[in-house]
Amino acid sequence: MSRIVLLTAPHVAKDLVASARAHLPELEPVTVFDKAGFEAAMADLSPDDFLLSFCTSVIVPADVIATLGPRAINIHPAAPNYPGRDPHHFAVLNGETQYGATAHLITEKVDAGPIYDVEMFDIPKGAAPHEIMALADEAGLRLADRIFDRLGRGEALEPNGVTWGERKTSRNDFKRLCRISAIAHADEFDRKMRATANPKYKNAFVNMHGRVFRDTGEDYTPVRVKASKGWEDFTEKAYCDILDAAKERYRFTTYDALVDDDHVLWRHDIDYSVHRGVRLGELEAERGLVATYFFWIRAPYYNVLEPSIKACAARLLEMGHRIGLHFDIQGYGDTEWSYEKLDARIRREADFLGEEFNTEIGVVSFHDPENGGLLSFDAERIGGLVNAYAARFKRDYGYCSDSNGYWRFKPIPDVIRSGEHKKLQVLTHPAWWTEDIMAPREKIERAVLGRARATMAEYDDHLARSGRTNLD
């Protein structure tokens, strides 16, 4: 008696056997689940046998394919445009709304033989990969039933004209899909996590310096910082308290509107995060206060020409704040400086920044002046700009700063409360002032990663807008 060998998996075997017996009663069903069982079944292979392969990773040998010819059929539990391994994961990645199963002739190349029939279905909204795979198995069983019915009625299987998709995924492709970039933006992260999800396996991982860190499925709870470290002084709430205290004692003013009264020059050197600067600017504007924001043209942490940065500058100006130049001599190769050289370089940078931001630049502050040797350049104006380190500001004004995210000198709140200075210049760096309590280095890491993720999002958006394929 001829046989129909069912090379399959236990979860679909019972239905396959029932369907084969119903439509092909003259054939003896032989069910095998692994390579050893298949090799044993092929020991007495006859050209009159049929082979149906479904839900198995066992590769059918070339000699079996040659012996059976058109009587060797595979059901691929995926739509024709998803040949290869782990297709359900890639269907989720690509946001497919339809999926299916494909019956085709077995050839030596996997998922390459002529297609006989396809069973498609709509993917339920929000379906996970394993749920789509289960639906594809059900579609494959319906497809097998149709194939058995056609064979039972003596109908020859002919190619239906449907062709395979161009990209055939491999196991290595899936492993690459499971790698979550350390700079993945939120949309990319969510898309990859959905695409690699499986209740039985921890597929997603991050590779850092050759080590693999896998997703545990746990929600991360930030580690609370002990108050003894003093980092609770550098939050948005603490910043608002400082603003309110300063407003009670001083008039907030700018470098181009100085009069002899109790006032404060509230200054921000934007070293790391422009977006944090905008947030502080909002808190100040809510209180009717004005500050001066110094942009660093040669900063390694942002680019003043980027549209998002220019939008931030426009927002600050819209709120009534001023923009100044944060000048860094270390961005040049010169080892010796003179007023003449500073005048030329500062004037050039100020003109450039003013043109890009569509505003007049009237004041300059030095970046890292102690290391740059700039403290001795204390003229009232340099390059036609008010010098924030001019001798009169050192002589007539008190000075306090948030330093490197901790109080290296007298804390700003203490200086304000003391009332010891009629005139005061306050320097802050927006990156230090965050909503949550964080370590200083953690704040910079967040700023750097945020910029990197925004860059990746821009890359993805650009390809989408251009209608181009985004190869990962």
Q: pLDDT band at residue 24, thresholds of 50, 70 and 90?
A: very high
pLDDT at 84: 96
Tokens 């004037």 sit at which residue?
Answer: 347
Q: Where does the chain hold its CATH 3.20.20.370 domain(s)?
A: 230-438
- CATH number among 3.20.20.370, 3.40.50.300, 2.40.50.140, 3.20.20.70, domain 230-438: 3.20.20.370
Whole-angstrom distance, CA of residue 357 vs CA of residue 223: 40
User: Minimum mean pLDDT among 23-27, 125-129, 214-218, 298-302: which range?
Assistant: 214-218
Q: pLDDT band at residue 227, thresholds of 50, 70 and 90?
A: low
pLDDT tens-digit map of 263-283:
999 999 999 999 999 999 999
pLDDT tens-digit map of 379-428:
999 999 999 999 999 999 999 999 888 888 899 999 999 999 999 999 99
Q: pLDDT band at residue 215, thresholds of 50, 70 and 90?
A: confident
Pairing of strands 381-382, 385-387: antiparallel
325: part of which helix (H) or strand (E)? strand 322-327
pLDDT tens-digit map of 103-137:
999 999 999 999 999 999 999 999 999 999 999 99
State the average pLDDT over residues 297-314: 96
C-alpha separations of 293 from 85, 134, 296, 330 in Å? 54, 57, 10, 20
Distance from the Cα of residue 280 to its chain's centroid: 25
Reduced to 3 states (helix: H, G, I; strand: E, B; else coil), residue 84 is strand
- Is-contact 80 165, C-beta < 8 A? yes
pLDDT tens-digit map of 278-302:
999 999 999 999 999 999 999 999 9
Q: Where does the chain hold its CATH 3.40.50.170 domain(s)?
A: 3-171
Q: Kindly report the average pLDDT of the chain as a whole number.
A: 94
- Nearest-CA neighbor of 241 among 68, 414, 91? 414
Could you tell me where the beta strands, DSSP code E, fall in 194-313?
Answer: 205-208, 211-214, 251-253, 263-270, 292-296
Please check whether the domain covering 3-171 is classified as CATH 2.60.120.10: no
Helices 307-318 and 274-286: crossing angle in degrees, nearest 10, is 10
